[in-house]
Homo-oligomer: A and B are copies of this chain.
Amino acid sequence: MRLSRFHLHTTKETPADAELVSHKLMLRAGMIRKLAAGLYTWSPLGLRVLRKVEAVVREEMDRAGAVELQLPTIQPRELWEETGRWEQFGGQLLKIKDRKEAEYCYSPTAEEAITDFARQELSSYRQLPVNFYQVHTKFRDEIRPRFGVMRAREFLMKDAYSFHTSDADLAREYENMKAAYTRVFTRLGLEFRAVQADSGAIGGDASQEFHVLAESGEDALAFSTGSDYAANVEAAQAAEPAPRAAAGEALRKIDTPTQKTCEEVAALMGIPLQRTVKSVAVMGSDGFVLALVRGDHMVNEIKLGKVAGLADYRPATEAEIAQHLGSEPGFLGPVAPRQAIRIVADREVAAMADFVVGANEAGFHIAGVNWGRDLPEPDVVADIRNVVAGDRAADGGAIRLARGIEVGHVFQLGRKYSEAMGFTVLDETGKAAVPAMGCYGIGVSRIVAAAIEQNHDEAGIVWPVPMAPWAVAVCVINPKKDAAVDAAAEALLDELRAAGIEAVLDDRGLRPGAMFADIELIGIPHRVVVSERGLAAGTFEYRARTAGEAEALDRTRLLERLRGA
C-alpha cells in the first residue's frame, strides 16, 4: 500500500467537543468523522483498524466452535413484545414505523431475533448445543452520545447466543467463551481483566465483564495480586478480617468541640484513622438502622442494600436521628442510643477493639469502645464497604484498584428468553424441554477507542502491533527525486511482504518533520526511513514507536529487527 493512493487526512487541531484522549486522537488521525450526534463515518484508516479487531474476534469465535450468521438490523415490534422488552428496554431502543405504519426497532442486541431463528431451526436435542454469532451494526439511542465511538449510537458489536439442553452444558460453553474472549484480548495486545459484574451471587459465574485497563475508564475495578480474582469495585470483596483482639482500654469521653468527621477526630487524638468508626444512619423497611464502617472505609450502597430489611433503604432525616440517638449528625455512635436500634456492622468493624465513635452528644466522642462490654454485639455483621487498595484478598494477595473500559460481557441467561418465546426442543425422552441460553458480547468498535485510551503518548496513538493499520511505515525522503532511493524503498517493501510483515510506503513527498509526525500520530509501531544519505552509508534509519532514539541499521539487521517485532 502507498500512502499517496490511500486517503490519509490528519489534522493538528483538536475539536472542541472531544473530551477523551481516544476521541481526540481518532479525530486528529482522521480515523473517524462525525456525521451527526453519535454517528461516525469510519475513514479508510479507521476502518483498517476496525477490521483487524473484527478479524481476530471472528477467528477466535470460529476456533471456539461458534457458527456465524447474520440477523437483520431492523426487527419487528411483535418479537420484542413477546419478551416484554419493547417497553422495558427504554429510550435506548430506536423505534421505527415503516410506510405501512408497522412498528420495528433497530436492533440494540438480538436475543429475541436469535431465539426466533432458533425456534424455527432447532427442534431436537440432537441439534444442541449450538452457539450462533454475528458481527453486525447495532444501534442504541443514547440520551447523551459522547466520547466518539466509545459511546456512539451506531456501533459494531459481536454478539453470540448459545442454546443448551442443560445448565451444566451452558456453564461449559460459558467457560469456553470466557477462554475465547481471553484469547481475543490477549491476541490484540491489550492489558485487560475479566471481572465479576454485580450479578448478585457472590463468586457466581452468571455474568462477567471484560475490561481494558485505562486511567480514563468509566468503571472502577478491584483485582488481586494473588490470583485472577477481579471484580467491579461495587462487587469486590476483601478477605475476612483477623479475629477481634481483646479489650485493652477503658471507655472514655473525648472532648471534640468542632471535630465531626473521623479524619478530624483522629487528627485531634493523634491516632490512626483505622481506629475510628463511622456511623451512618439509615431507614429500612423495619425502621432505624445504624450502619458502621471503619473511619477510612466507605459504605457500599449495593452491599448494604443486600442486608435484610434494607433493600430500599434511605438516609435517615435529622429528626429521625435525634429521635433514635438523641444527637445531631457528626457525633453519632452505637453506644447508648436514646431508643433501642438495629446495628449493622461491617465485618472489619465487628473485628475491632478499643475503637472511637461519636458519643451521641454534640461536641463529644468516646474512645476505648469494645463490643460486648460497652454495647451489645451487632445485630448483623456483613461486608457493607467498598474495598480499598491494599486490602487483603481472599486468595491471600493484595487488592489493587484500577479503572477499566468494558469491552466484553458474558452472561448465563438461563431460560428467560426461550421460555418467554415458547422455544422448546424434544429431549432424549421425547418430551418438550426449554433450552438454556447464554449470550456473549464484544464491543468491536469500542475496542478501538479503548486500545487508544490504554496506548498513547504526547505524539499520538501507540498501537499494539495486532491492531496497527500497518506494522511498518517505510518513509521515503524526497520521493521521485533519486531513482535509487525509490527503488530501495520498493525493494524493502517487497522483502517485508515476502516476510509476511504488513508495511505501508509513505511516498507522499512531505517534509520529514511533517511525515514523521503523521506516522507517529497514527501510531505505526515501526518506522524505517529511506534516504539518499542513508543509502550512501548502506543503512536505513529505524525507530520503534515506543523508543526514544533512531538507529542506523543495515538491511540484514533491519529485517532481523522487524521480523522479531
Residues on A lying within 8 angstroms of B by beta carbon are 5-7, 9, 30, 33, 35-37, 39-44, 46-47, 50, 65, 67-76, 79, 91, 94, 96, 98-99, 102, 104, 106, 113, 116-117, 120-121, 127, 130, 132, 136-137, 139, 141, 143, 153-154
Closest Cβ–Cβ distance, residue A392 to chain B (whole Å): 45
* Apart from the given pairs A7-B67, A74-B94, 11 other A-B contacts in the complex at a CB distance below 8 Å: A7-B69, A7-B130, A33-B117, A39-B76, A43-B69, A43-B117, A47-B70, A73-B154, A94-B96, A96-B96, A99-B143
Q: Please state if B121 and A7 are interface contacts (CB–CB under 8 Å).
A: yes
Contact of A41 among B40, B96, B113, B139 (CB under 8 A): B113
Chain B nearest Cβ from A4, distance in angstroms: 10
A70's contact among B41, B75, B94, B96, by CB below 8 Å, is which?
B41
Once bound together, how far apart are the Cα atoms of A76 and B36, in whole Å? 7
| CB pair B40 A69 closer than 8 Å | no
Instruction: Tell whether, in the assembled complex, residue A76 and residue B35 are in contact, meaning their CB atoms are under 8 Å apart.
Output: yes
Question: Is A91 touching B96 in the complex (CB atoms < 8 A)?
Answer: no
Chain B residues whose C-beta falls within 8 Å of the C-beta of A116 in the assembled complex = 35
Q: Which residues of B contact A130 (CB under 8 A)?
A: 7
- A67 near B96: Cβ-Cβ < 8 Å: no
| B44 engages A68 (CB within 8 Å) | yes
**A98 close to B47 (CB less than 8 A):** no
CB < 8 Å: which of B35, B71, B143, B154 contacts A113? B35
Contact A69/B41 with A33-B120, A99-B141 known, Cβ cut-off 8 Å: yes
Please indicate which of the listed interface residues A71, A98, A153 has the most CB atoms of chain B within 10 Å of its own CB. A98
The one of B9, B47, B74, B139 that contacts A154, using a Cβ cutoff of 8 Å: B74
Majority-rule SS of A interface residues: mixed
Bound CA–CA A40/B41 (angstroms): 26
Q: Choose from B6, B40, B41, B74 the contact partner of A106 (Cβ within 8 Å).
A: B74
Of A47, A70, A136, the most chain B CB neighbours within 10 A belong to A70
- Across-interface contacts of A106 in B (CB, < 8 A): 74, 96, 106
For A39, the chain B residues whose CB sits under 8 A away are 72, 74-76
Q: How far is the CB of A520 from chain B (nearest CB, A)?
A: 21
Q: Which residues of B contact A143 (CB under 8 A)?
A: 99
Chain B nearest Cβ from A123, distance in angstroms: 9
Question: What's the Cα separation between A20 and B451 when bound, in Å?
Answer: 48
Q: Known contacts being A5-B65, A30-B121, A132-B7, is A70 close to B42, with CB within 8 Å?
A: yes
Determine if A71 and B41 form an interchain contact, defined as CB atoms under 8 angstroms apart: yes
State which of B68, B98, B139, B153 has its C-beta within 8 Å of the C-beta of A94: B98
Q: Which residues of chain B are within 8 angstroms of A71 by Cβ–Cβ distance?
A: 35, 41
Closest to A104 in B: B36
A69, A73, A75, A113, most chain B CB atoms within 10 A:
A69
Interchain CA distance A50-B37 in the complex, whole Å = 32
Cβ-defined partner of A72 (8 Å) among B35, B47, B65, B72:
B35
Contacts of A40 in B (CB 8 A): 72
The smallest C-beta distance from A6 to any residue of chain B, in angstroms, reads: 6
A127 to B76, CA, bound (A): 44
* Of listed A36, A73, A102, residue having the most chain B CB within 10 A: A36
Complex CA–CA separation, A116 to B34 (angstroms): 10
Q: Nearest residue in B to A46 (C-beta to C-beta)?
A: B69
Q: How far is the CB of A55 from chain B (nearest CB, A)?
A: 12
